[in-house]
Structure 1
Amino acid sequence: MAKENVTQNELPIVVIGAGLGGLGAACQLALSGEKVLLLEKHNVPGGFATSFVRGRFEFEGALHVLAEVGTEEHPLSLYDFFKDLGVFNKIDFKKPMDLCRSIFYDGLDITFPNGRETYFEKLIELFPNDKKGINKFKEIVFKVREGFNYVAAKEGKATPLGILLKHPYLARVGGLTLSDVFDRCFKDQKLRAVASQLWGYEGLPPSRVNAMYYILVLIALLDDAVFPVGRSHALSSVIVESFEKMGGIIKYNALVNRILVKEGKVSGVELLNGEQYPCKAVISNVNPICTTMKMLPRETVSDSYKKRVYAPDIGTSLFTVYLGLNKTPKDLGVTHFEVFLNSTYNLEEQYLTSLRIERPKYLLASCYNIMYEDISPPGTNQVVLTALQDGKSWSTVPPYQYHHKKDEMANKMISMAEELLYPNLRKYIETAEAATPLTYYHYSKSLNGAIYGYKQDILDSPMMRLNSKGPIPGLYFAGAWVNLGGGYSTSITSGRMAASMYLEENEKGGV
């Protein structure tokens, strides 16, 4: 391979990082006829979209379901992109039977069906006295979705004025917390807890999360969410294969140390081993903090941009327990894929507990075999327990206490699952592995092990979040930290938005 011999004319643009944001950017560029070099520090692509093997089990790294794909009859924002890449020719997708199941400590046990209309019908069935408010919330959700479709279709070219004129609900909701929206719709306090069961997917409770993020996640999961056969690693691999077939070059074990600058513009990148690749533009899937403060010469970044990068708080991480069980789901009485376990209706208390290293009060138990029967060997099944955890808490744990704290936390999560969902779960454990925020940092280098980038709060709505435009000409950002926020589909879309911005500016001669 002549990857070390590329010239600026051959490969005018470099993408740093083969996470989903980087893959989205690289493929969008390749589809447009651009020659692209994709540099990845790890030995496999995908970032969080990966899997790992323990014993006879191959575990999904992080994906629960993938939104924004849709079907040929009902295509969503990623459908045509995946079709152009040939994804559907190589991967099948499974669809969960239900949105989720929620269990509360007092015995309340609810299964939410898939589908927009049936979800809200279920809420009305449970809380008939709030029917009017539920229908009002439904209207808000649908209006926000319409606005998101408009922004996604613009591929990074939507203007604030255009959004305000065509879809004012985006601006209205973007300035509210989810609790603010609930105040306008719901009276029953228990309904608030039930209607916000997906708050873990944004990393903040209703009192803190930007309402737009929650609504977008809710409607996206109701609209034909799927899971790739072969796990998310298979999806990443197929995307890379398509990228290479289009002439793109990917180099692994290639940690970019510096972005080179000449006359105030991007001129290339330098790897940790000293290799240099000249280019006129870079799309970085590395978080903006590290990109601007570690990879660029500091004097090239304005003070105002530094403040913009540092101002938002870094979001949450996870503690995850991966369990390979020597019984089938049927043997264990497991009937649902995603089950949220709640030891309180107070979601603020659930969140505050996640800031400390202690037994969670909000836990997601996922049995992938319910949706994807062959994901584990015959006669077995996989259960994954996930709790939000603040990365900063784990960064202060002394090394000699780390493994003890890790085992202790895993045991507490297993106990909670046994009490509320799976009696005697630990009796059937054949293989177990746990991941802390430090684990997520180690493999992704995402600050604090953050899974969604910046906190998705009221000050950092999709309307206010950093966009793809970097602090100097020729530099762009992709991934969860910019544009639409955290998540698999939004990270891919973020990369495509960065690519579209580059292509537009390049066409105008601005790069």
Structure 2
Amino acid sequence: MTPNGRKVIIIGAGIAGLCAGVLARKCGYEVDIVEQHERPGGLATSWRRGDYTFEGCLHWLLGSNSDDPMYEQWHEVFDIDRVGFFYPEKWMTIVNERGDHLDIYSDVDQMEGELLRQSPQDELEIRRLAAAARGLRHCPLPQPGNSWIRDCATRLRLLPYFPLLRKWGRVSAGEYGTRYHSPLLRAFFGDGEMSHLSALALVFSMAWVSNRNAGYPIGGSKAVIGRIADRFVSMGGRLQLGEKVCKILVEHNAAVGIQLEDGERMLADWVISAADGHATIFDLLDGKYVDEATRHLYRTLEPFPSWIQVSLGVALDLSQYCGYITRVLDHPLTVDPGTRLRQVSFRVFHFDPHFSPPGKTALTCTLPTRNVEFWAALQAQDPARYKAEKNRIADAVIAIIERSTEPLRHAVEVVDVSTPATVIRHTGNWKGSMEGWLPTPETGFRPLASTLAGLHGFVMAGQWVMPGGGLPSGLITARQAVRHLCRHDGVRFAVQEPTALPMQTA
């Protein structure tokens, strides 16, 4: 790590900002990361309530398999080899009000056999689904910002997968689910907002889980975020927490630094925004570098919904249950005006010993909603009703969980409810979105522009640059951003490149 005499300021200490910070330091840049919250992580977070820890982000970490190129990229930013991973035998259980249930196994062969046993009338589609998951096990992810040589090599490796990518990328998960006769199988492909997701995203998830390349890191978000932040600081990077950026400073159409809310100005050669995309473009830059393509993007693309999370600390050992359960409801759950859910999913964290004392269990239930204005207004204008609404939803969720597990209301020791207003307060995410742009059949997975027309010295990273969100997009777009800096400054991108997978036939 040889200093190159150039300085970078990164806005936001979420996964993208932290990864960009580590990679920029490796390339010799002086780096400051400025974060408005009191701790790093952004949406990748967990929190403590009494004896319990509640996870708000991670279901799995793509790249947990040491044979996958993504593993090597994670190893560049933190010691992933020191993280333990959990690989569940059952990925999900779907159950209805009559007690009928469907187990979705992590292993594709086992999943195929179970689905055929449960719904033989859907044999043709089940076999097609399983074949697609097998075929995409080793499909490489796009790496925006690569040199043209490496980009061509990736395109060549993708050629055998094009038929599968085209077929599954053209249909939403909800549309695909209608092909099945089994109501429980149709429920697996989603309902409401999440049914808009591209079916390709679901098939990719099945492929990664089956390939043991999407393990849950024991310790959750903290196990990943804490290690990346520690790596950044140990390399001489400066992490400023509790400081809100109110403006990106621009001179002669070049970003030259930032201004904090208290008036302090910080200057740099480059500004990387790993913060909310809408706030960056329309607020921090006053909308001065918005072309029609960018306006069209924010007018037409669909972000992930926001969500309410009900978290419970229960004085019961629930290790006999699947770690992820979806309950199909006879009567929809009214979340808020305009939001009624016909199925509810919850996670039973018996597999993470960090989250509860022995013999007890942490549970979380996530309820998607787009009625962000309702919750924000309620919190600001009517705190008593806001609290009452949170209590109502928590009570309803406990009743639903009890119908899927066992009576547990008497054993609930901690109840915690976060809302879209909580998300906005802590992260500033546009519309309280949980993961940026939703990868629909119309959106696809292609990365979006990370720079703005007419503005130099500036680049973006994170979930508003790459549809699909999640931790992998943070790492991938961070690499893209730092490559951009290095290419412009004539600096060597001093980061080990992942070993390419051999060409495989889908």
TM-score, normalising length from structure 2?
0.84
CA distance in structure 1 between the partners assigned to 2:377 and 2:99 by the alignment? 37
- Deviation of 1:481 after TM superposition, in Å, equals 2.1
* Cα pair distance change 1:88/1:62, threshold 3 Å: closer
Structure 2 residue 383 is matched with structure 1 residue 389 = no
Structure 2 residue 460 is matched with structure 1 residue 483: no
Task: Pick from 325, 330, 337 the counterpart of residue 339 of structure 1.
Answer: 325
Residue 451 (structure 1) aligned to one of 434, 439, 445: 434
Once the two structures are overlaid, the 10-residue window that deviates more, 15-24 or 60-69, is 60-69
1:79-478 matches, within 5 Å, as 79-88=71-80, 90-143=82-135, 146-147=138-139, 149-152=140-143, 158=151, 162=155, 167-169=161-163, 170-181=165-176, 186-188=179-181, 190=183, 192-196=185-189, 203-205=193-195, 208-224=196-212, 225-329=214-318, 334-343=320-329, 356=337, 360-369=341-350, 371-390=351-370, 391-397=372-378, 398-400=381-383, 401-419=385-403, 421-463=404-446, 466-471=448-453, 472-478=455-461
Give the SS at the match of 1:329: coil
Q: 1:161 to 1:240 in 2, by over 3 A?
A: closer
Amino acid at match of 1:151: P
Q: Is the 8 A contact 1:469 1:498 kept in 2?
A: no
Cα 1:175–1:264 change in 2 (3 A) is farther
User: What secondary structure does 1:417 align onto?
Assistant: helix
- Post-superposition shift, 1:285? 1.5
Spell out structure 1 runs of 4+ moving beyond 6 A.
Answer: 352-355
> 1 CA distance for matches of 2:282 and 2:468?
21
How far did 1:43 drift?
Answer: 1.6
The Cα shift of 1:44 comes to 0.8
- Structure 1 residues 500 and 387 mapped into 2: Cα distance closer, same or farther (>3 Å)? same
Q: How far 1:479 sits from its partner (Å)?
A: 1.7
**Is 1:50 the equivalent of 2:33?**
no
Amino acid at match of 1:339: I
Cα offset, 1:304, TM superposition:
3.6
- State the alpha-carbon separation in 2 of the partners of residues 396 and 453 from structure 1: 22
Local SS of the residue matching 2:390: helix
Q: Distance in 2 between matches of 1:414 and 1:242?
A: 40
1:504 aligns with 2:490: no
Q: Distance in 2 between matches of 1:152 and 1:105?
A: 44
Contact 1:376 1:382 in 2 (8 A): yes
Deviations for 1:26-75, whole angstroms, at most 9, x for unmatched residues? 223233343322111112111122222222222223323323321x3x33
Shift of 1:19: 0.6
Cα distance change on mapping 1:494 and 1:193 into 2, 3 Å: farther
Q: Quote the offset at 1:317 in angstroms.
A: 1.3
Structure 1 residue 156 displacement after superposition = 8.7
* 8 Å CA contact retained: 1:23, 1:239: yes
Structure 2 CA distance, aligned partners of 1:409 and 1:319?
A: 9
Write the letter of the residue equivalent to 2:142: V
User: Is the contact between residue 465 and residue 477 of structure 2 (CA under 8 Å) also seen in structure 1?
Assistant: yes
**Matched positions, count:** 480
CA contact (8 A) 2:177 2:187 kept: no
CA contact (8 A) 1:468 1:483 kept: no
C-alpha displacement at 1:265, in angstroms?
2.0
Q: Give the superposition deviation at 1:240.
A: 0.8
Separation (CA, whole Å) in 2 of partners of 1:441 and 1:213: 26
| Inter-partner Cα distance in structure 2 for 1:120 and 1:380 | 33
Q: Does 1:20 align with 2:22?
A: no
* CA shift in 2, pair 1:423/1:460, >3 Å: same
For 2:362 and 2:397, locate their aligned partners in 1 and report how far apart those are by CA, in whole Å.
15
TM-score scaled by length of structure 1 = 0.84
| Closer, same or farther: CA 18–473 of 1 in aligned 2, 3 Å | same
The residue identity in structure 1 corresponding to 2:58 is L
Task: Please tell me whether residue 34 in structure 1 is matched to residue 16 in structure 2.
Answer: no
Do 2:145 and 2:484's aligned partners in 1 also have CA atoms closer than 8 Å?
no
Give how far 1:86 is off.
4.4
Contact residue 265 and residue 474 of structure 1 kept, 8 A? yes
8 Å CA contact 1:353–1:361 kept in 2: the answer is no
Give the conservation status (yes or no) of the 8 Å contact 1:24–1:494.
no
Does the Cα contact within 8 Å between 2:108 and 2:133 map onto a contact in 1?
no
What secondary structure sits across from 2:248 in the alignment?
strand
> For the residues of structure 2 that align with 1:238 and 1:26, how far apart are their CA atoms?
13
Q: Which stretch shows the higher mean deviation, 28-37 or 96-105?
A: 28-37
Q: In the aligned structure 2, how far is the partner of 1:89 from the partner of 1:159?
A: 30
Residues 134-179 of structure 1, C-alpha deviation per residue, up to 9 Å, x if partnerless? Answer: 22233444555554x1524975964899488664343454343234
Q: Tell me, yes or no, if the aligned pair for 1:156 and 1:498 is still in contact at 8 Å.
A: no
- What is the rounded CA distance, in whole Å, between the counterparts of 2:42 and 2:49 in structure 1? 19
Q: Structure 1 residue 355: deviation in Å?
A: 7.0
Unpaired runs of at least 5, structure 1: 1-7
State the AA in 2 paired with 1:204: M
Q: What percentage of aligned pairs have identical amino acids?
A: 22
Please give the secondary structure, in 2, of the residue aligned with 1:403: helix
Give the letter for the 1:382 counterpart.
A
- Which stretch shifts more, 391-400 or 436-445? 391-400
In 1, are the aligned partners of 2:11 and 2:35 still within 8 Å (CA)?
A: yes
What is the DSSP-based 3-state SS (H/G/I as helix, E as strand, rest coil) of the residue aligned with 2:142? Answer: helix
